Structure 1
Amino acid sequence: MTAPRAAQKPHVHLMHSHQRPDPYHWLRDDERADPDVLAHLQAENDHSAAVLKANADLEAQLYGEMRARIAPEDQSLPWWDHVWQLRERTLDGQEYALVEGRRSEEAPWQLLLDGNQLAGDANYFALGDMALSPDGRWLAYSTDHNGDRSYSVHLVDLASGQPRAEAFPQISGELVWGADSNSLYYLTLDDSLLPYRLNRQVLGQEPEVLYEEADNSFWLGLGESRDRQYLMLSAAATLTSEVLMLPLDGSDPVPRPFWPRREGIEYQLDRLHDRFVVLSNEQAPNFKLLTGSGADAMTERQGHDPEVLLEDFDLLDGALALTERYQGQARIRILWDQHDALLPWEGAVHDVWLGHSDDTGELVVGFQSPVQPPSLYRIEADLSKTLLKTKPVPNCDLSQYRCQRIEVAARDGAQVPVTLMWRQDSFRQGQNPLLIDGYGAYGISLDPGFSQARFSLLDRGFVLAVAHIRGGQEKGRAWYEAGRRQHKWHSFHDFIDVTKALVAKGWGAADQLFCEGRSAGGLLMGAVLNEAPGLYKGALVGVPFVDVVTTMLDDGLPLTTGEYDEWGNPNNASDYFLMLSYSPYDNVRAQAYPHIYVRSGLHDTQVAYWEPAKWVARLRDLKTDQHLLLLETELEVGHGGLSGRYRQYQETARDFAFVIALAEGRLG
């Protein structure tokens, strides 16, 4: 079956006296309307569909299994938002949740929003934010219908149930009401779709700009203080942040910084009952916790610990809850004025987080593991836990599955954590197919969460591994620093070394190794496949950031200027040549590659569709093998792929069918 070949058109990038030929540069179309480009993407889609037709029955079986593990009906815990109690409810066969509300616990629930009606026939739909006015009259919400992270604002009069016609610009998603219930705050987007302006819109009037971010390496975020007295405007770059405060009663129209930004200093802030709480990394790489009555009256409550990363907190009456990370594991500490205590949990591999804390002030925490579905607990005053809800997982015997955390040595001696999952009755040392997932960027930790879809692989004898490589933050801030900018090669070497170590320890068969990564994890895949192509039988690569140098030289793209501290600034020669050394597109060479299945989204604003399209085109031109190379571009969605509680598993089923068929010799 002949794969499509993209035409080569002469184009050369020149930087630092270095020429980079880019014959597939023409595949970039910012308007996403060029007929030649769309025809090529469609040809790739048609080729993928033709090849994967052989997997149709397996795909359908996998999708059926995943769908059967979704409870037909479910509902969230109720929560209070001003004068409304809210809940989300899902119904059998419906993709999206209903949002229901009532003004007292004795009143019947009434439908406020139906996500299915809002989504219509779109392949992608997201409800960005939902904000109730303090008086309970107005419901404002934001929606995205193609995954480009540009949201439309809608307004409903809950007294009549009718929408209000109000002109809003496209926004970043977040919404905050003023105390008067007549003014709405939101963030608008610049030409690269980054949030850069804070607007206040009094209903019936034109919006007023209250703040504009002048530094294009920063992006804005919006929220409320815990006591709902202040709008909290965050301005953040990779390594620097600032929080500006604005009274929601309208007494001061100017957002003012709690602490002015200083390069390299990050902090997050909240307030309750005239008490401020701050997490700051000033002279504390793993962060420290401070409390006090104002910016000039803060004292240290939890000091810096080189072994413990402080990540998040929630304010309570008389106490606060703090999320920490120690030896790769998240944990929760409760702090009172004079003492503190850790919440105990069973199991060596798990994830815990601070749950939705509503206007009641109760502390709710979440718990999950790879073999235990998410559960929510209310934490009582004596630290006992009351189970509130466990996510139902029908048609699945969870007792059949096991998980374990190990560490393996990288080539420089660093101990890399690895989370492993398998089915107990199908493990055969050194014989199982092994799928390894990784990310390793932005300080994002791949926590050991629950995914019911994985059991379809485990049931077929796969062992699954998550490599917690450098560039993530599983082992603290130093672990992140060791995998960014000039240390980026550590991420790639860690992944390769983990793969080899797992084979040596018998966790998988040497000829049945598969790898997986999305977004920055797609960059990981591209670099690893260039460096160690013979190690893997197949690769799943989603929305991959693979044209690193070209993208980071274009400051008109959404994430470029804000990520110089993550990857480097290629306008500087040293950064340019370092990034060039690992950029997957620039390092494709004439060698044999494994089977590769690549996914992208036409409306992706985080990793533009042309990056994977160009990468696949160059791979086709240079690779020396006859292995499968498939590119599938979803033409109506963005970075996150298909949405919907059922539909999202169509992509997962297709991905899993690809590696299962390869492992069983039915494909390729």
Structure 2
Amino acid sequence: MRLSPLFLAALAVACATPPPPAPAPQAAPPAPSATAPAPARPTPPVAKRLPHPVTQHGDTRQDDYFWLREKENPEVRAYLEAEAAYTAQVMKPTEALQQKLYAEMLGRIQQTDLEVPYRKGGFFYYSRTEEGKQYPIFCRKKGSLEAPEEVLLNPNVLSEGFKFFRVGTFEVSDDGNLLAYSVDTTGFREFTLHVKDLRTGKLGPERIEHTAGFDGAWAADNRTFFYATEDDAKRSYRVWRHTVGTDSQTDTLVYEEKNEHFRLSVQRTLSNEYILISSTSSTTSEVRFLPATKPSAQFQVVEPRKQDHEYSVDHHGGLFYILTNSGGRNFRLVTAPVKSPGQKNWKELIAHRPQVMLENLVLFKNHLAVLERDTGQPQLLITDLKTGASHRIQFPEQGYAVFPSSNAEFDTPVLRFQYTSLITPWSVFDYDMNTRERKLLKQQAVLGGYDASRYETERLLVPAQDGTQVPVSLVYRKGLKKDGRAPLLLQGYGSYGIPSMPFFNSNALSLLDRGVAVAVAHVRGGGDLGKPWHDAGRMRQKMNTFTDFIAVAEALVARGYTSKERLAIQGGSAGGLLMGAVTNMRPDLFKAVLAEVPFVDVLNTMSDTTLPLTVGEFEEWGNPQVKEEYEYLRQYCPYTNVTAKAYPAMLVKTSFNDSQVMYWEPAKWVAKLRALKTDPNPLLFQINMNGGHGGSSGRYDSLKERAFNYAFLLTQLGVEQ
């Protein structure tokens, strides 16, 4: 999926003093006097135009910048470098501001820190950070937290010599002796799987390339590992059985997914008794299972796939617990006997409720925890499996995010969850499901003295074009006057059924403390109000995503939270598509736009089935080979619909090795905008030559990127210190 970077839902924008004016002209002796010329404005690069007609369904489009797809072409690199140099020139007056913002954000972070350890198989696992180091260090202690520390993986050492480094799979065998882990050193999601003997610290012979980044499961024998590999389009399509210490060339293929709409994932149930292979498309799923004690047996199907039937599986005792959308779009929970798990034997445990989306579940020995979304608000429903009694955990705020976290033990009465809101730092709780007591284990430290009472949050409802009520989350410094004079950053995403959750982000304090309000538009296409909310913003209803966002922006202006001259917008990936579409539709409504790794060349990308993700996303966006779907996509594709008119100030960001939104999409978009736009507003294009879909991998590098973004937005919003 073309997901936004992790920070999409973490709200951020800051204010800064605009660059100082140029010195007054001075007379130059001797006479006659000569006025010193004003500093020349940097000249933006101009990409050459090479006609490339594209004809579909009798409609011909000119793609003059198609040549920018040639990644190895020196001219392409020269153009990208020229754009980077131009952006650096334009942003040079903000360098002091960037440094100030970076120092502020860094100053709030506990640089040497420790995550809350979680227990699994006699060990306490955790990660920790050290001041000055880019990456967290993965550790454990045996038996108790007072035991000596054992470092399992230190990415700060492993990343030496690489400009990008990311850990994917991280799975320890049942006996605690072996670690299967994968790493990506390019940013292109090219994960290589390794196996480390934790007793000796030595790596085995395994070096398995093209593995799915975050998948894998050990069998109960502590020597068999199941993993998935990707095809050339980066679709995880094969699952393999590997015996530790052997050549991966001899691994056994246990399942191949030949339907290009489906992707595979491999997990082990929390009960540890079964290994699951899930095959999923955007609308349909199928799950296979295998006893973890019989790794050489054949996987069996829970329920054969049927178009538009989605389900997921977990295990407890002699039953599978199945979340299914059969009988309701927002899912219900059923059980089925492991010996005959087909749909004819399903028994309903939690009925479908139109306003409540069942998102996920965690099965313990004596309890069931279900993550629900009730009219947009996340809830944790706890059920005692012995008595059948249920209750919800109560939360104090009107807008928040909560979800289970690090539950690795099956036989425990304690549920661990994380809680956060726009003003509440990330908090880790242990909740006793018997006594209903919760214990705060840790709240994210915000150095420098953070006081939540200084800020205010609101949750609004805004009528969309068709009358649908669209939720909006806001946060701002108390005392904000709703007189239309405050600067405001409005963020949005609205795709894949993913909710835009109101996370706390300490970086946003640099913005809020300068009087900038921040808002999130929970537009259709996301999962904020369940599956119907997603359905109402995908395929041939995708325009709702854009008109919802515009309606929210207009309402915030009309209600006095901001004005058109002080409104900035931000979105990443599929949220970058949102930015491109609304900017084409209503360029007069926004002062500045920040589009990160934006999916803006929708029509061309969805027409190219050789690209990663394309075929699997026909059920999200549509298939341009179908005339009606082509015509609908053509209506909103940002690149296709750029025209000669005035646009807001824009900062467009991408990564050269992004595998989810190829760099050439924003590159082509910027080139076309530069050729056609009629305004003098800055259009900046920054490309990270060493990053991935989320930008740089190191935490300090990521903060510098954020400071750069803020500096751009602040100067455009004209907010003084």
Taking the TM superposition and a 5 Å limit, the aligned residue runs for 1:95-134 are 95-105=134-144, 107-134=147-174
Taking the TM superposition and a 5 Å limit, the aligned residue runs for 1:320-359 are 320-337=368-385, 338-359=388-409
Amino acid aligned to 1:8: R
Q: Is 1:170 aligned to residue 170 of structure 2?
A: no
Give the Å deviation of 1:138: 1.3
**Farther-moved stretch of structure 1 (303-312 vs 69-78):** 69-78
Give the Å deviation of 1:318: 1.8
Distance in 1 (alpha carbons) for counterparts of 2:270 and 2:674: 54
Distance in 2 (alpha carbons) for counterparts of 1:657 and 1:329: 33
Give the Å deviation of 1:428: 5.1
Distance in 2 (alpha carbons) for counterparts of 1:427 and 1:181: 62
Distance in 2 (alpha carbons) for counterparts of 1:160 and 1:252: 28
1:239 to 266, 280, 283: 283
Amino acid aligned to 2:617: E
Name the structure 2 match of 1:413: 467
Aligned length: 664
Q: Is 1:582 aligned to residue 636 of structure 2?
A: yes
1:137-187 per-residue CA deviation (whole Å, 9 max, x = no partner) reads 211211112221121112221121222232423211222222222222111
Name the structure 1 match of 2:618: 564
Amino acid aligned to 1:529: T
Q: Percent identity?
A: 38
Distance in 1 (alpha carbons) for counterparts of 2:358 and 2:179: 35
Would the alpha carbon gap of residues 456 and 187 (structure 1) be closer, same or farther in structure 2, given more than 3 Å must change?
same
Name the structure 1 match of 2:416: 364
Give the Å deviation of 1:103: 2.6
Q: Is 1:313 aligned to residue 366 of structure 2?
A: no
Distance in 1 (alpha carbons) for counterparts of 2:286 and 2:94: 51
Distance in 2 (alpha carbons) for counterparts of 1:558 and 1:208: 25
Give the Å deviation of 1:293: 2.4
1:7 to 29, 35, 48: 48
Give the Å deviation of 1:257: 1.6
**Farther-moved stretch of structure 1 (376-385 vs 15-24):** 376-385
Taking the TM superposition and a 5 Å limit, the aligned residue runs for 1:525-564 are 525-564=579-618
Amino acid aligned to 1:301: L
Amino acid aligned to 1:506: G
Distance in 2 (alpha carbons) for counterparts of 1:353 and 1:135: 28
Amino acid aligned to 1:659: L
The runs of 5 or more residues in structure 1 that have no matched partner are: none
Distance in 2 (alpha carbons) for counterparts of 1:464 and 1:135: 48
Name the structure 2 match of 1:221: 265
Q: Say whether the 8 Å CA contact 1:427–1:461 is kept in structure 2.
A: no
Distance in 2 (alpha carbons) for counterparts of 1:532 and 1:442: 24
Name the structure 2 match of 1:69: 108
Taking the TM superposition and a 5 Å limit, the aligned residue runs for 1:31-110 are 32-105=71-144, 107-110=147-150
Give the Å deviation of 1:254: 2.5
Find the residue that maps to 2:271 and give its secondary structure. coil
Amino acid aligned to 1:132: V
Give the Å deviation of 1:392: 1.1
Taking the TM superposition and a 5 Å limit, the aligned residue runs for 1:256-267 are 256-267=300-311
Distance in 2 (alpha carbons) for counterparts of 1:324 and 1:278: 15
Q: Say whether the 8 Å CA contact 2:371–2:380 is kept in structure 1.
A: yes
Amino acid aligned to 2:691: V
Distance in 1 (alpha carbons) for counterparts of 2:189 and 2:83: 26
Distance in 1 (alpha carbons) for counterparts of 2:567 and 2:140: 49
1:20 to 34, 40, 61: 61
Find the residue that maps to 1:587 and give its secondary structure. coil
1:623 to 677, 695, 701: 677
Give the Å deviation of 1:646: 2.4
1:390 to 443, 461, 470: 443
Taking the TM superposition and a 5 Å limit, the aligned residue runs for 1:431-510 are 431-510=485-564
**Farther-moved stretch of structure 1 (276-285 vs 146-155):** 146-155
Amino acid aligned to 1:11: H
Distance in 1 (alpha carbons) for counterparts of 2:547 and 2:210: 42
Give the Å deviation of 1:665: 7.2
Q: Say whether the 8 Å CA contact 2:491–2:570 is kept in structure 1.
A: yes
Q: Which has the higher contact order (CA 8 A, sep 6+)?
A: 2
Give the Å deviation of 1:226: 1.5
Q: Is 1:186 aligned to residue 242 of structure 2?
A: no
Amino acid aligned to 2:242: Q
Give the Å deviation of 1:559: 0.8
Find the residue that maps to 2:684 and give its secondary structure. strand
Q: Say whether the 8 Å CA contact 1:82–1:132 is kept in structure 2.
A: no
1:257-314 per-residue CA deviation (whole Å, 9 max, x = no partner) reads 2111110000111112223111100121010011242314331111011111110110
Find the residue that maps to 1:526 and give its secondary structure. helix
CA RMSD, aligned part only? 1.5
Distance in 2 (alpha carbons) for counterparts of 1:256 and 1:429: 63
Would the alpha carbon gap of residues 164 and 657 (structure 1) be closer, same or farther in structure 2, given more than 3 Å must change?
same
Distance in 1 (alpha carbons) for counterparts of 2:259 and 2:58: 29
Q: Is 1:613 aligned to residue 657 of structure 2?
A: no
Q: Say whether the 8 Å CA contact 2:137–2:155 is kept in structure 1.
A: yes
TM-score using structure 2 length: 0.90
Name the structure 2 match of 1:302: 350
Q: Say whether the 8 Å CA contact 1:199–1:208 is kept in structure 2.
A: yes
Q: Say whether the 8 Å CA contact 2:169–2:181 is kept in structure 1.
A: yes
Amino acid aligned to 1:150: E
Name the structure 2 match of 1:197: 238
Give the Å deviation of 1:251: 5.2
Give the Å deviation of 1:600: 0.5
Distance in 2 (alpha carbons) for counterparts of 1:549 and 1:635: 25
Give the Å deviation of 1:85: 2.5
Q: Say whether the 8 Å CA contact 1:83–1:135 is kept in structure 2.
A: no
1:50-87 per-residue CA deviation (whole Å, 9 max, x = no partner) reads 11111101111111111111112211122233343311
Name the structure 2 match of 1:375: 427
**Farther-moved stretch of structure 1 (427-436 vs 39-48):** 427-436
Find the residue that maps to 1:647 and give its secondary structure. helix
Distance in 2 (alpha carbons) for counterparts of 1:471 and 1:125: 32
TM-score using structure 1 length: 0.97
**Farther-moved stretch of structure 1 (307-316 vs 122-131):** 122-131
1:12-67 per-residue CA deviation (whole Å, 9 max, x = no partner) reads 111111111101000002xx322111111111111111111111011111111111
2:294 to 245, 250, 270: 250
Amino acid aligned to 1:180: D
2:646 to 562, 581, 592: 592
Find the residue that maps to 2:288 and give its secondary structure. strand
Larger-gyration structure (1/2): 2
Would the alpha carbon gap of residues 91 and 598 (structure 1) be closer, same or farther in structure 2, given more than 3 Å must change?
same
Give the Å deviation of 1:377: 1.2
**Farther-moved stretch of structure 1 (422-431 vs 650-659):** 422-431
Find the residue that maps to 1:122 and give its secondary structure. coil
Distance in 2 (alpha carbons) for counterparts of 1:123 and 1:335: 47
1:368-414 per-residue CA deviation (whole Å, 9 max, x = no partner) reads 10100111111111222111111111114232222111111112111
Q: Say whether the 8 Å CA contact 1:75–1:87 is kept in structure 2.
A: yes
Q: Say whether the 8 Å CA contact 2:192–2:207 is kept in structure 1.
A: no
Amino acid aligned to 1:22: D
Amino acid aligned to 2:351: G
